[in-house]
Structure 1
Amino acid sequence: MAQEGEAAPRTSTVQDKGWAWMVLVATVLVQGLTLGFPSCIGVFFKDLQQDFQASNSETSWFPSIMTAVLHAGGPLCSILVERFGCRTTVMLGGLLSGVGMVASSFSQSITQLYVTAGFITGLGTCFSFQAGVTVLGYYFIRRRALANALASTGVSIGFTLWPLLSQHLLDVMGWRNTFFVFGGVMLHCCVCGAVMRPVPVKPPGPPSKPGPGPLAEDIHLSNGNSLGHEVHLHRPRCDACIQTLQKYLAFDVFCKNKGYRTYTIGVAWMVMGFVLPMIYLVPYAVVNGVEERKAALLVSIIGFINIFMRPMAGLLSGLKVFTGRRIYLFIVAVALNGLSNLICAISASYSAFVIYCVVYSISMSVLGALIFQVLMDVVEMDRFSSALGLFTILESVTILIGPPLAGLLVDLTGHFSYVFYASSFFMVTAALFMGFSFCTMETKNKSTQPHKPAPDNPSRGKYADVPTELGSETNGSAAIIYVTSI
């Protein structure tokens, strides 16, 4: 793929070696700077609440907007990648993130913080993260699975370091100056983006000559004052809009594919509770007498364990015994993650918090490793990109409303423990819903097709690996798969 006006040679000598490893290091840093960043917001929760005289619900809208935009911006990011390339999109995301955080340090109201640190920074982190993941698919072919596994450790490193850095800077200079410094830190995404040079995938084709086409013909005929042809003028535009929606938002797959519909609804319901501990764990610990530095360390414990557990979870899911059955491993992890929240709800001692972080991080690692692998199991790969677009947008809606609802619950009851009860409720009910639905579908499929011979690949129709050859064409252009992560 030749991008940004660079000449494309006929072959590439950088894939899986050489500069590809520099790009991998840059992607690790980008993931730590972007996906890892929301983990530190809980450190500033009480200070923002006091400074703006805001309720728990009003304050929680800030991290909700940031995280929701980070997930929902996937289709827009994919369009930018196709138009300008991965390098430019990553650098644009770094610029937006830095500007958003610098502007947030001058916010005079919580509403301004929603726009600056919430929307602008969230959109910037979305562009940098998803374009950074996309470029790995071009630089790595044979070692793509290894590259993605190593890149995902950046998220865990970010979870580990961001809360500690945030608490230290908050103690030294306050939240405004800390946000200003964070703006400079986020600009390092631009440096990482500069490393991601375009990779030529195929030789450039000859420039196509513009033909009359249906649109040009309709324009010519409509100039002849033909009302019927003026109507035809709008048809190609409508068809283009429909094709664009089908390309980035798979509504047709959602309506026809029961597995995809069940999984999307289940995950959307699940994340409403999944994001709550990352926001409310630190303020909950502080309210119960834990020192602020030790409270911030709890989030770092989750991130540190993730560094080792996430690759192990990926290797575990790759075992032959789980082929075609990853959904059940995912459901068990969802249930365990939900039940772990009861530890915090029952006991608020520091030892209980540490035990909670260990159990939570183990189940979180499995969720992060499997969430998109399972999506590949239930959707054909030729529709994966568009299915992922709708999946992340619906997911972002519940991410947006979950924390404010939990904040409202705290405002009404005066107890943070109810947040963890609510998180447990959403996670466990989502696990029960997905488990019952997939078991029912599997039983129904076996009963309706008793004599159908077993396929050579037991996951056929459910799962397909990422193509090992680049340059496959869809409607004349290379398909872009953008991936988000929990």
Structure 2
Amino acid sequence: MTRANGAGGASGGVPGAEEWEPEGGPRRGPAGAAPDGGWGWVVLAATIVVLALTLAFPSCMGIFYTDLQNEFNASNSETSWVPSIMTSVLHAGGPICSVLVERLGCRATVMLGGVLSGLGMAASSFTQSIEQLYVTTGVITGLGFCFSFQPAVTILGHYFVRRRAFANALSSTGTALGLCTLPILGNYLHGELGWRGSFLVLGAVLLNCCVCGALMRPLGGPGARRPPPPPVEKEEEEEGGRTRRAWGRAAAAALSKHMAFDQLLHNPRYCAYAAGITWMMLGFVVPLIYLVPYATAHGMEQGRAALLLSILGLVNIVVRPPFGVVFGMPWFKGRHIYVFSWALLVNGLSNGICCVGPSFPVLLAYVVVYGLSMSVVGSLMFTVLMDVVEMSRFPSALGLLAIMESVTLLIGPPLAGVLIDWTGQYFYVFFASSAVVASSAVFLMVSFYWLDARDRKSSGQSPPSTPPSVDPAPRCEYSSVPTEGDRDRASSNGAQNVSGV
């Protein structure tokens, strides 16, 4: 599932001085507009590469699944914790990433994430137990992915305002590009170097996030000055009680900024959407992890099995940008949730195709149907969220949703591993995933239809499917979060599914 975290500050400086803004955000010109081009195209290209190297990576761990299982004599459940922890940390690290962006800026945070993910994968090649892999591949590499991709999509939102929908549609192909290329690269390295050598080389490849981060220069340029820190009153320094109250207020403000608990209490649409998406993530990423082991366990060559993931990525590359443009048309306003739910239902039911047989033609048909429906889900996931909450609350609503998703993303693959250990058959995993994802789609359809009917009955009018929302910025698709406007940039929280959403 998919989310960007960031923080910005207000302009500062003395009268007559050049306007300053923090490194994480742009320094606007006199008209208050982002460039919508120029160096922004370089930032867009860098963001695509970052998404390809981060969001798509956990799904490609299936290539090394059997080797890890044999190397450490681990069960399916124990081995599946490796990509599970990686994906969960990628989403759950949002609040930490937000603090880093506020302190260091987007550019430095992306580069820090590249260093962390590269070192994590390199260290994984020297591990001697599956538990050590949980730390190196799961926690360290997953946290590096979080620090890289979320600030990348945040700064992209600062560079593009008028063309933001187009820029986000293009950036959403990054995950698909990774799904298309990383399995081929991983399979080649696996055949030449084994899993340990592959992890070492992939660690070096992930260091390219540092190069991409270096290209994401702040719009203020290298000479932009930082404002002096605000003066601290002596009395407050001396009085411990006042200091503790100030810390309490700051903690409450930070919690409110990054976690929209008020939406869970007072916005039934957000509550229904968050519940449905959280349940969906329990089974959404599992087929991507177990597709290659399922195919190879039934005699398919490793190269052909890895090709299936590449075809899945290729389908996403071709169809996701057009879907993003089509669903931005006025006719779909208020209908996004129903299109999203039907696509999610098709996505869940498509997992049943795998149970027909493990032959290449059957699995090829599966990845095509799965890829088409996955493209619709990925294009609309955050658009629906923009429909159900006001834009002023979108960053915090997305942050809370990312935390909720991380729980089911963490336990989904290990539960599938337990099912395989218990039954000895992989296809039961696809049955279970189909039931989970399809049931979440039905829940979303029924919930929103009931809420719409209730609103129509109470208002006595014919009715938009969603409450009006403040929309000071153009819509953005997939994993990017819009800013609040030209004068007031809000902090951005977010993530993409993993997992390929």
Q: State whether TM-score is above 0.5.
A: yes
Distance 1:435 1:180, change over 3 A: same
Higher relative contact order (CA 8 A, sep 6+): 2
Q: Which residue of 2 aligns with 1:226?
A: none
Q: In 2, are the aligned partners of 1:71 and 1:126 still within 8 Å (CA)?
A: yes
Is 1:257 aligned to residue 257 of structure 2? Answer: no
Q: In 2, are the aligned partners of 1:131 and 1:482 still within 8 Å (CA)?
A: no
State which of 108, 123, 148 in structure 2 corresponds to 1:128.
Answer: 148
Q: Which residue of 2 aligns with 1:170?
A: 190
State which of 425, 433, 453 in structure 2 corresponds to 1:415.
Answer: 425
Query: Following TM superposition, by how much is the alpha carbon of 1:2 offset from its aligned partner in structure 2, in angstroms?
Result: 3.3
Distance 1:205 1:120, change over 3 A: closer
- SS of equivalent residue, structure 1 residue 170: helix
Is 1:373 aligned to residue 383 of structure 2? Answer: yes
Is 1:480 aligned to residue 500 of structure 2? Answer: no
- SS of equivalent residue, structure 1 residue 141: coil
Q: Which residue of 2 aligns with 1:394?
A: 404
Query: Following TM superposition, by how much is the alpha carbon of 1:217 offset from its aligned partner in structure 2, in angstroms?
Result: 3.5
Query: Following TM superposition, by how much is the alpha carbon of 1:29 offset from its aligned partner in structure 2, in angstroms?
Result: 0.8
Q: In 1, are the aligned partners of 2:179 and 2:312 still within 8 Å (CA)?
A: yes
State which of 150, 174, 186 in structure 1 corresponds to 2:170.
Answer: 150
Distance 1:82 1:471, change over 3 A: farther
Is 1:34 aligned to residue 54 of structure 2? Answer: yes
State which of 460, 469, 473 in structure 2 corresponds to 1:466.
Answer: 473
For residues 326 and 67 of structure 2, what CA distance do their matches in structure 1 show? 41
Between 1:114-123 and 1:462-471, the stretch displaced more is 462-471
Is 1:301 aligned to residue 311 of structure 2? Answer: yes
Distance 1:171 1:436, change over 3 A: same
Q: Which residue of 1 aligns with 2:480?
A: none
Distance 1:55 1:320, change over 3 A: same
For residues 279 and 469 of structure 1, what CA distance do their matches in structure 2 show? 37
Q: How big is each residue's C-alpha offset from its partner over 1:200-227, in whole Å with a ceiling of 9 and x where there is no partner?
A: 39x9797575253xxx54554x4xxxxx
Distance 1:17 1:57, change over 3 A: same
Higher helix share: 1
For residues 470 and 231 of structure 1, what CA distance do their matches in structure 2 show? 37
Distance 1:465 1:66, change over 3 A: farther
Query: Following TM superposition, by how much is the alpha carbon of 1:143 offset from its aligned partner in structure 2, in angstroms?
Result: 0.9
Q: Where does structure 2 lack aligned partners over 5 or more consecutive residues? A: 1-19, 475-482
Q: Which residue of 1 aligns with 2:245?
A: 235
State which of 87, 90, 104 in structure 2 corresponds to 1:70.
Answer: 90
- SS of equivalent residue, structure 1 residue 415: coil
Distance 1:206 1:78, change over 3 A: closer
Distance 1:370 1:157, change over 3 A: same
For residues 306 and 187 of structure 1, what CA distance do their matches in structure 2 show? 25
For residues 9 and 385 of structure 1, what CA distance do their matches in structure 2 show? 21
The code of the aligned residue for 1:398 comes to: T
Query: Following TM superposition, by how much is the alpha carbon of 1:460 offset from its aligned partner in structure 2, in angstroms?
Result: 5.4
Q: Which residue of 1 aligns with 2:367?
A: 357
Is 1:346 aligned to residue 349 of structure 2? Answer: no
Q: In 2, are the aligned partners of 1:8 and 1:204 still within 8 Å (CA)?
A: no
Query: Following TM superposition, by how much is the alpha carbon of 1:8 offset from its aligned partner in structure 2, in angstroms?
Result: 6.2
Query: Following TM superposition, by how much is the alpha carbon of 1:472 offset from its aligned partner in structure 2, in angstroms?
Result: 3.1
Between 1:307-316 and 1:85-94, the stretch displaced more is 307-316
Q: How big is each residue's C-alpha offset from its partner over 1:69-90, in whole Å with a ceiling of 9 and x where there is no partner?
A: 1111122212211211110010
Query: Following TM superposition, by how much is the alpha carbon of 1:235 offset from its aligned partner in structure 2, in angstroms?
Result: 2.0
Between 1:46-55 and 1:310-319, the stretch displaced more is 310-319
The code of the aligned residue for 1:142 comes to: R
Distance 1:407 1:208, change over 3 A: closer
Q: In 2, are the aligned partners of 1:61 and 1:404 still within 8 Å (CA)?
A: yes
For residues 28 and 413 of structure 2, what CA distance do their matches in structure 1 show? 50
For residues 76 and 285 of structure 1, what CA distance do their matches in structure 2 show? 38
Q: Which residue of 1 aligns with 2:330?
A: 320
Between 1:112-121 and 1:340-349, the stretch displaced more is 340-349
Query: Following TM superposition, by how much is the alpha carbon of 1:141 offset from its aligned partner in structure 2, in angstroms?
Result: 1.7
Between 1:252-261 and 1:1-10, the stretch displaced more is 1-10
For residues 41 and 415 of structure 2, what CA distance do their matches in structure 1 show? 43
Aligned length: 467
Distance 1:5 1:145, change over 3 A: closer
Distance 1:366 1:5, change over 3 A: closer
For residues 237 and 102 of structure 2, what CA distance do their matches in structure 1 show? 28
For residues 310 and 368 of structure 1, what CA distance do their matches in structure 2 show? 8
Distance 1:344 1:7, change over 3 A: closer
Q: Which residue of 1 aligns with 2:76?
A: 56
Distance 1:294 1:17, change over 3 A: same
Query: Following TM superposition, by how much is the alpha carbon of 1:411 offset from its aligned partner in structure 2, in angstroms?
Result: 0.2
Q: How big is each residue's C-alpha offset from its partner over 1:304-323, in whole Å with a ceiling of 9 and x where there is no partner?
A: 00001111221221122210
Is 1:47 aligned to residue 54 of structure 2? Answer: no
Q: Which residue of 1 aligns with 2:201?
A: 181
Q: Where does structure 1 lack aligned partners over 5 or more consecutive residues? A: 223-229
Q: In 2, are the aligned partners of 1:74 and 1:126 still within 8 Å (CA)?
A: yes
For residues 68 and 19 of structure 1, what CA distance do their matches in structure 2 show? 33
Query: Following TM superposition, by how much is the alpha carbon of 1:470 offset from its aligned partner in structure 2, in angstroms?
Result: 4.5
Q: In 1, are the aligned partners of 2:34 and 2:161 still within 8 Å (CA)?
A: no
Q: How big is each residue's C-alpha offset from its partner over 1:440-463, in whole Å with a ceiling of 9 and x where there is no partner?
A: 111011101115x868xx865257
Q: Which residue of 1 aligns with 2:101?
A: 81
Query: Following TM superposition, by how much is the alpha carbon of 1:169 offset from its aligned partner in structure 2, in angstroms?
Result: 0.6
Query: Following TM superposition, by how much is the alpha carbon of 1:347 offset from its aligned partner in structure 2, in angstroms?
Result: 2.2
Distance 1:14 1:377, change over 3 A: closer
Between 1:408-417 and 1:141-150, the stretch displaced more is 141-150
Query: Following TM superposition, by how much is the alpha carbon of 1:479 offset from its aligned partner in structure 2, in angstroms?
Result: 1.5
Q: How big is each residue's C-alpha offset from its partner over 1:78-114, in whole Å with a ceiling of 9 and x where there is no partner?
A: 2211211110010000000100000000010001001
Q: Which residue of 2 aligns with 1:225?
A: none
For residues 448 and 4 of structure 1, what CA distance do their matches in structure 2 show? 48
Between 1:357-366 and 1:233-242, the stretch displaced more is 233-242
State which of 16, 21, 25 in structure 2 corresponds to 1:2.
Answer: 21
